[in-house]
Amino acid sequence: MKKSLAAITAVLLAAGSAYAQDTVKLGMVAELSGAGAPAAPRQAPAAAPRPQAIPLWRLLRAPHAWAMAVFFGAQSLQAYVVFGWVPAVLTEAGMTQDRAGGMLAIATAMGIPISAVVPTMLGAFKRHEAFVVAFIGSLALGYTGLTVMPLTASWLTAVLIGAGMGSFPMALTLLALRAHTPEGTTALSGVAQSVGYLIASIGPVGFGLLHDLSGSYTVSLVALAICRRGVRNVLGHLGVLPPTGKTPEARPENILRIPGHDGYVLATTDGVFEPFHALGATVHAGQAAGRIHNLANPAREPETVFYLSDGIVYGRRQPGRVVIGNCCVTVARRYEGELA
């Protein structure tokens, strides 16, 4: 089975594009702190005005401040998952522990020169779309390699992932570039890092939990892809990114229903379930849905489970351990009734 850290990436370099396109108007932070106000006439004995603190609630009501927090949290989540899980994915694919640790070292070492260069380059350009595209592309290629060929050209995969993680120094630099005063930078940094690290803390635990529950990394990777799409939709709703488009109209041919008890294929014994069909496959009653391998006696013939209804594979347990009564496959049929 394929294992990887695939779609973590785009989970949130998309938010970075918002800031790269001048849509992030955290100039309001400068405005709140008094920057941009007409200078008062100079008086020789007058003391310098005290910096005005920016109330936290003002920032929490700013959509772009939340977008910055989401971007910061997403790239941190990705980094924590990479540091915690890339070696595990590689060793499960058959790589030795020493070599897997070396691949992580390569990815981490890539961050040293990138962290030194990215802040300067961001300050030299008014538009940052190219940086976002470069980071997204590098991560996409790296995670693709980790997915389809984890043991082939693994050093190149590690280099690409490490280069893509340049989104971290980019996020830190944007905190200063988008808030134009020291007070504004402090306030924005406090919000972005507090909320961002809270988001990031979910990543390693959630990734590992889904792996334990499913028996493979597939479900974890799908969850990351769903997370990325969800964040993209939220940022579009806040106006930070362009809208993702209209919600597709519900059509009868796109609506499915589960035909009662017969729609579920249940485990008939304890063991490791091996599915026979992919999601979306058309199946028929009496057809073999998969088989369950006995762990206590591997030499025993696997026990086959069968579909009880015609339909489409709507849900499927990934290859992994099951006990009697667990649902292995769910079958659904096209809905043929009237829509309200």
Q: What is the pLDDT of residues 131-154, one digit of tens each?
A: 877 887 787 788 778 777 888 888
Q: Which residue has the higher pLDDT, 239 or 13?
A: 239
Looking at every residue in the chain, the average pLDDT score rounds to 76
Give the tens place of pLDDT for each residue, 280-338.
899 999 999 999 999 888 889 999 999 999 999 988 888 888 999 999 999 999 887 77
Q: Are β-strands 320-322 and 303-306 bridged in parallel, bridged antiparallel, or unpaired?
A: unpaired
**What pLDDT does 78 receive?**
81
pLDDT bracket for residue 184 (50, 70, 90): confident
Within 10 angstroms of residue 101's Cβ, the number of other Cβ atoms is 15
Architecture of the domain spanning 6-36+53-237: Up-down Bundle (1.20)
For the record, the structure tokens of 175 come out as 């905190």
Give the C-alpha distances (Å, rounded to integers) separating 216 from 101, 161, 165, 219, 271: 21, 21, 25, 7, 15
DSSP H stretches of helix in 110-217: 111-124, 129-148, 154-164, 167-178, 182-200, 202-214
* 129 within 8 A of 108, measured Cβ to Cβ: no
Percentage of the chain exceeding pLDDT 90: 20
Say if residue 34's pLDDT is above 50.
no
pLDDT bracket for residue 168 (50, 70, 90): confident
Query: Which residues of the chain are in CATH 2.40.50.100 domains?
Result: 252-334
pLDDT bracket for residue 239 (50, 70, 90): low
Query: Which residues of the chain are in CATH 1.20.1250.20 domains?
Result: 6-36+53-237
**What pLDDT does 27 receive?**
40
**What pLDDT does 340 receive?**
58
**What pLDDT does 130 receive?**
76
Give the C-alpha distances (Å, rounded to integers) separating 119 from 49, 89, 184: 31, 32, 18
Burial of 120 (0-12, 13-18, 19+ CB in 10 A): exposed
Architecture of the domain spanning 252-334: Beta Barrel (2.40)
Lowest mean pLDDT among 7-11, 83-87, 114-118, 330-334: 7-11
How much is the pTM?
0.56
Lowest mean pLDDT among 35-44, 144-153, 196-205: 35-44
Percentage of the chain exceeding pLDDT 70: 70
**What pLDDT does 285 receive?**
95
**What pLDDT does 231 receive?**
64
Lowest mean pLDDT among 82-91, 210-219, 274-283: 210-219
Say if residue 247's pLDDT is above 70.
no
